[in-house]
Amino acid sequence: MHAPVIMGVVNVTPDSFSDGGLFLDANAAVEHGRRLAAEGAAILDIGGESTRPGADPVSAEEELVRVLGVVERLAADGAARISIDTTKRVVAHGALDVGATIVNDVSAFRLDPDMAALVAERGADCCLMHMLGNPRTMQKDPRYDDVVSEVKSFLEERLAFAVREGVAEERICLDPGIGFGKTVEHNVELLRRLDVLLALGRPVVIGFSRKSSLGKLAGDPAATTGSLSASIAAAVAAYERGATILRVHDVREHVEALAVAAAFA
């Protein structure tokens, strides 16, 4: 097995759950992105709107102000591919214009269906994620009959939609949306049965880094984030189950841990 691709998180926001406000300043965000790339991130995922539970929406204008300069400067470095984390076509369009090559849409093109045509027209790669409801409501008593089969059906449908809109299938990866409208048990089941999602035939992205479920699994029922050690344990488990891309905050530590895990695979 090859070591997975590492996607480093660059949140240009005041309110993200794990690092809100730390990189809202464009210069700080760029330096953070450069550090993650130097530590081994092959992709930098830049977002200007928090998707934490209960987060308030951000206008497209504000989102563009936050991310465009950061995207442009990091893309110019050429050290990593740039992903724009947005649900808005106008934001994705602006980011693609200044060097992004991946659109990471947590709504899987549901909130702005014209996003699919943009991705197809520009020949960009994309990530389609499952989310129950929206960030404001997703953690209010999420329920499934079978979380894995329901997430698979959703991703299968969104994959088909994107292809119908002209996106090349080989440019699409899928994300089960760990923590996006799921309980701790749902998240565990999705990772445990990742082979069901891999059967869709597309690379799978896992973003378990620092999620509160990890803190709860580690023994703190009131946890709002997960520790680095718990994040690494989840990343190794995801890698061993076939995940292709791991979206993480702490790149160097994940790169080292996954290199060791790969040596024993």
Active site positions, annotated: 211, 247
For the beta sheet containing 43-47, the strands, ordered from the edge strand earlier in sequence to the opposite edge, are 172-175, 125-129, 102-105, 81-85, 43-47, 5-11, 245-248, 205-206
* Positive/negative CA dihedral, 135, 136, 141, 143: negative
What CA–CA distances, in Å, run from 103 to 45, 110, 124, 127, 190? 9, 14, 7, 6, 23
- The Cα 251–Cα 182 span in angstroms is 25
Residue 224 and residue 212 in contact, taking contact as beta carbons nearer than 8 Å: yes
Helix (H, G, I), strand (E, B) or coil at 180: coil
How far apart, in whole angstroms, are the C-alpha atoms of residue 61 and residue 225?
Answer: 30
Element (H, E) at 251: helix 251-263
The answer to whether the CB of 111 falls within 8 A of the CB of 87 is yes
CA–CA separation, 9 and 24 (whole Å): 13
- In sequence order, what E strands does the chain have? 5-11, 43-47, 81-85, 102-105, 125-129, 172-175, 205-206, 245-248
